[in-house]
Amino acid sequence: MYIDGQWVTERSHFLVTNPASGDVIGEVPDCTSEDIDAAITAASEALKSWKQTTAYERSGLLYRAWEIMLSRKQELAELMTREQGKPLKASLNEVQYGADFLLWFAEEAKRINGQTIPSSRDNQRFITQKVPVGVVGAITPWNYPISMITRKLAPALAVGCTLVLKPAEQTPLCAKAMAEVFEEAGFPAGVINVITSRDPAPVGEAFCSDPRIRKLAFTGSTAVGKKLNAQAAAHMKRVSMELGGHAPAIVFPDADPAHAAKGLSLVKFLNTGQACISPNRIFVHRVHAEAFLAELTARVCRLKAGSGFEAGNSIGPLINEAALQKVDSQVQDALAKGATLYTGGHRLTDGELRGGLFYAPTVLAGVTPEMRIYYEETFGPVAPVVIYGDEDDVLAMANDTEYGLAAYVYSNNLSTAVKAFEALEFGIIGINDINPTSAAAPFGGMKSSGLGREGAQEGIEEYLETKLGGFALG
């Protein structure tokens, strides 16, 4: 743990394992309630001077952290592959995406402007200033263990907030490595604190109830996000919530089915389907059903599972046994209710996969609303295909979910694409685009997928208060 500029190790520890092999790869301290308090104290003491620094100083430090991160890109990516399991190429992409937030917010730090506002009274002047919200409590998940950290820390630091970060218990080593990057960049003691915990509940309670924490920035499941949001509301805390998703992907009659199958096979199996924006309900118009399923299945059959360090493997392990069991139970439920299995549908245990948590990349067709996989977030390598006939109905079916994070549309007709973009109730919509994300673009969901946006200009507002000055002239 990293508290007030010091490394804290003398605690009981919990183990970190490689999900591809089951091997123990490290151990980290399990924080005590005194550690949580010490980290909040350090952040709130450091805030006094950190918020007085100039935007140019903060920008310079973020820029330095960006340089260090890129110089360690390979090392960070290898650690991520060992700890989280994704293929090395995907880890390299994630380190780059994570670093992008440091650069973007290093630049944005200098563009936090107030306003002058005309008054109806000639002897009155209004001005606004943007000020940091204060100490931030940040909680991050394991599926993107580095970029989810920088997506929160970079804007918070850019505006002059200090923070305490609690990373997921499955991926604390990536968080430790990021604390080293910030330490080397020269951030003052107490500005960034990292605590690791086997039991997240006391940390969440402290972040929500301690009056010194002014904002909770959470990425994780909708269930935990709702709980934390309720706890934070009791103390009138600002929150950002980046929660679960259940993205629809619609292949319209005017789309190219082979192109759509190619794109969706890539984005669906990214990170082994363990992504909040993963397409989880693929609606294909019946005119394309056969061609789409043939192309999708052919592509999925070519995906190879295994260690992320072996070139050519694109399917990594699931994060833990419970995750694997959940995926399998969704698949078995769908099959029992009449879905057709095109490929996959079982755990992989042959050869080197034996010690790991691998599930065969799976294609299911004939998925219907009675099946759990239709309405529950799927966090695994399963592509559920729903065949539809009516274009208006499909938009209603896509919106018929409590989630509102990402959606995908395949169409070669401009009117169809615009109408779908306007009708879909989701925060991020890829139109013939499987990667609608960037540090410069707002990321976030509607409905139960969250509150607020990360990245882009919107991402910095989440860490700012607006202060109005009304000046009566004599």
Interface with ligand NAP (CB under 6 A): 139-144, 148, 166, 168-170, 200-201, 203-204, 219-221, 224, 227-228, 242-245, 276, 377, 405, 445, 450
| Cα–Cα dist 249/231, whole Å | 34
Contacts of residue 233, defined as CB under 8 A and 6 or more positions apart, other chains included, come to none
- Nearest C-alpha neighbor of 343 from the set 269, 394, 267: 269
Closer residue to ligand NAP in complex, CB, 245/430: 245
Cβ proximity to ligand NAP, 129 vs 320, nearer residue: 320
- Residue with structure tokens 């020269």? 186
Element (H, E) at 149: helix 147-159
Residue with Cβ nearer ligand NAP (101 or 144): 144
Spatial distance between the Cα atoms of 45 and 403, rounded to a whole number of angstroms: 39
- For residue 441, the minimal CB distance to ligand NAP (Å) is 13
Nearest residue (CB) to ligand NAP, 243 versus 371: 243
CB of 117 to ligand NAP, least distance (A): 34
Q: Which is nearer to ligand NAP, 38 or 228 (CB)?
A: 228
Q: Which is nearer to ligand NAP, 106 or 247 (CB)?
A: 247
Shortest reach from residue 379's CB to ligand NAP, in Å: 6
**Distance of closest approach, residue 182 Cβ to ligand NAP, in angstroms:** 19
Q: How far is CA 458 from CA 155, 462, 463, 472, in A?
A: 10, 7, 10, 32
Is the CB of 62 or the CB of 139 nearer to ligand NAP? 139
Q: H/E/C letters for each residue in 238-307?
A: EEEEECCCCEEEEECCCCCHHHHHHHHHHHHCHHHHCCCCCEEEEEEEHHHHHHHHHHHHHHHHCCCECC
- What is the rounded distance in angstroms from the CA atom of residue 128 to the CA atom of residue 114? 5
Sign of CA pseudo-dihedral 193, 197, 202, 205: positive
Which residues neighbour 172 within 8 Å (Cβ) at sequence distance 6 or greater? 16, 28, 196
The minimum distance between CB 245 and ligand NAP, in angstroms, equals 5
The minimum distance between CB 202 and ligand NAP, in angstroms, equals 8
Enumerate the active-site residues: 242, 276
Q: How far apart are CA 16 and CA 35, in angstroms?
A: 20
In angstroms, what is the minimal distance from the CB of 311 to ligand NAP? 26
Q: In what order do the strands lie in the sheet with 279-285?
A: 340-343, 362-365, 382-388, 279-285, 247-251, 406-410, 428-431
> CA 397 to CA 453: how far, in whole Å?
25
**What single-letter DSSP state applies at residue 454?**
B
Distance, in Å, from the CA atom of 242 to the CA atom of 38, rounded to the nearest integer, reads 27
Per the rule left: phi > 0, alpha: psi between -120 and 50, beta: everything else, 396 is alpha
User: Smallest distance, Å, CB 421 to ligand NAP?
Assistant: 20
Q: Which is nearer to ligand NAP, 146 or 185 (CB)?
A: 146
DSSP state of 353: G
